[in-house]
Amino acid sequence: MSWLFGINRGSTPAGGGDSGQGGAGLSLPPGPGGGGGPAGSGGAGDRSTPKDKWSNFDPTGLERAAKAARELDASRHAKDALSLAQMQEQTLQLEQQAKLKEYEAAIEQLKNDQIRVQAEERRKTLSEETKQHQARAQYQDKLARQRYDEQMRQQQLANEENLRKQEESVQKQEAMRRATVEREMELRHKNEMLRVEAEARARAKAERENADIIREQIRLKAAEHRQTVLESLKTAGMLFGEGFRAFVTDWDKVTATVAGLTLLAVGVYSAKNATAVAGRYLEARLGKPSLVRETSRITVLEALKHPIKPQLEARVRDIAIATRNTKKNKSLYRNILMYGPPGTGKTLFAKKLAVHSGMDYAIMTGGDVAPMGREGVTAIHKLFDWANTSRRGLLLFVDEADAFLRKRATEKISEDLRATLNAFLHRTGQHSNKFMLVLASNQPEQFDWAINDRIDEMVNFDLPQLEERERLVRMYFDRHVLKPATEGKQRLKLAQFDYGKKCSEIARLTEGMSGREISQLAVAWQAAAYASEDGVLTEAMIDARVADAVQQHRQKMEWLKAEGAEASKEGVRTPLLPFPKGTPV
């Protein structure tokens, strides 16, 4: 065990008896007299060293240790001692590693503490900056309010400038609010995207981890399905081969099969043609043509939506009585042209005429025909085929008829529109006891001559006069203002004033206005009440809306005068203008 002292490692000891102990025999250091071995030659050098350095050295201790080492090497417990020394060495190494890990953990903890301290400092810095910004903003806002108050006290006449500043402040606040909302939405979107990305990564990781299991399951299912399909194909092939062999050998079955297929083809062809014929019949009887915008004839779908049509107020005219008697006697209907300014009640009269005569009515507009192009001819034929199926008689009202019934000699009409006009003339060439044609136009002078030839009676709808305007004002005032105010179901109240006197005054102020404009004026009164804070319609509010309506009507008249002047310069006939009587053009 002399190797424990770390001397003469690798050299052969003086006594050869210890050379076999662990293969690490070591020699003792030289004694005071010089000793043997290679180190013995160093005695002279030792004597040359200073006396104070080796004066207290006792070589007997080394001799005793060497002797103890030799005895230990010679004992039977040498190997145990060596193992014990190795275990002690390993224990020391493990302790060193544990200390090293503790040092590393302490360093990592220091780093984490440093990062946490930095984050806390950064958070405190941001919080302090935010507080400073808020304080600065509050201070700036306070200064702005003080400046604003000082300006209000010093400049009482600068109301418009102050209003503009208020609006700018509101716009800035709205912009800040909008920016804040957008920022919140952006952050929420980013968080949502991060969450989705994390979930996707988790799912992908789970799928990757379970990929082997999934592939194995798919492989087993595919093998099972492949085996099942192969067995099914073998079985089906055997059955089909046996059946086909039996079928081919039996000529009676072959003949019956051919006859059955032939009858099936004939049945399918017959059913297809019968379905098409039935569809066209049902479309003609129950459907509504695409050109018809409104009708009193109830189709299958409209029967569920509108079981009862609303009744309009009656307008008694001699032509309505004649039409009703024509329907009773199953005679031929007469075609009517209604012309006049817009908003004078032409459409209302057509509906009332149909209701009063017990007929169905259908409303179409001429502006829907021109965009149809080549489909216009087909649409016209479908329209009149549908009109001929009415059992009660149909009043076909064509609003803005001059849009497609123009003169064919002009170059502005297209070939498709000319063909549509020819189809219309073909279907209206003779009077009918199934339908009655009613045309409405603001420019009847643009009609084709053949259209004028098919008109039996012309009705001029002029602008309402003073008495008629007063009745219209009272009617619409009662419908849109007085009735909702008295029912209490809407946010509308009416101030106390003489309603009858006010209606008469409004009728005098609205000279030259049509019935539609008067109806719009009543709706404007209702809207003014809804826009007020308390929902009360006052006399001043009514007067203000009347003044606006009169001004707008005058502006429209000026536009029409300018248009008429330009048309007269170009040599074009001026259209029928809705001017009041006595108004110079």
- The full set of domain ranges for the chain reads 294-462, 467-562
Q: What percent of the chain has pLDDT over 90?
A: 11
Weakest mean pLDDT among 55-59, 86-90, 268-272, 485-489: 55-59
First-to-final CA distance of the chain: 140
CATH assignment of 294-462, among 3.50.50.60, 3.40.50.300, 3.30.420.10, 3.30.420.40: 3.40.50.300
What's the chain's average pLDDT?
A: 76
More confident residue, 24 or 405: 405
Q: What mean pLDDT comes out for the span 127-138?
A: 91
Per residue, the 3-state secondary structure of 363-417, as one string, reads: EEEHHHCHHHCCHHHHHHHHHHHHHCCCCCCEEEEEECHHHCCECCCCCCCCHHH
- Residue 140 above 80 pLDDT? yes
In whole angstroms, what separates CA 539 from the centre of its chain? 45
| 332, 371 contact by CB (below 8 A) | no
- Residue 542 above 60 pLDDT? yes
Rounded Cα distance, 313 and 132, in Å: 73
Angle at 479 (CA atoms; ends 474, 481), nearest 5 degrees: 85
Weakest mean pLDDT among 34-38, 216-220, 274-278, 340-344: 34-38
Q: Cβ neighbours of residue 70 under 8 Å, at least 6 residues apart? A: 2, 13, 15, 18
pLDDT band at 574 (very low <50, low <70, confident <90, very high): very low
| pLDDT at position 312 | 32
Tell me the two tokens of residue 480. 């849109």
Most confident residue range from 91-100, 225-234, 500-509 = 91-100
Tell me the two tokens of residue 358. 């017990």
pTM equals 0.43
Number of C-beta neighbours around residue 328 at 10 A: 10
- Residue 22 above 70 pLDDT? no
Q: What mean pLDDT comes out for the span 520-540?
A: 86
Which one-letter amino acid corresponds to residue 69?
A: A
| 359, 352 contact by CB (below 8 A) | no
Tell me the two tokens of residue 162. 């102050």
- Where would I find the beta strands (DSSP E) of 265-352? 294-295, 336-339
- Residue 317 above 90 pLDDT? no
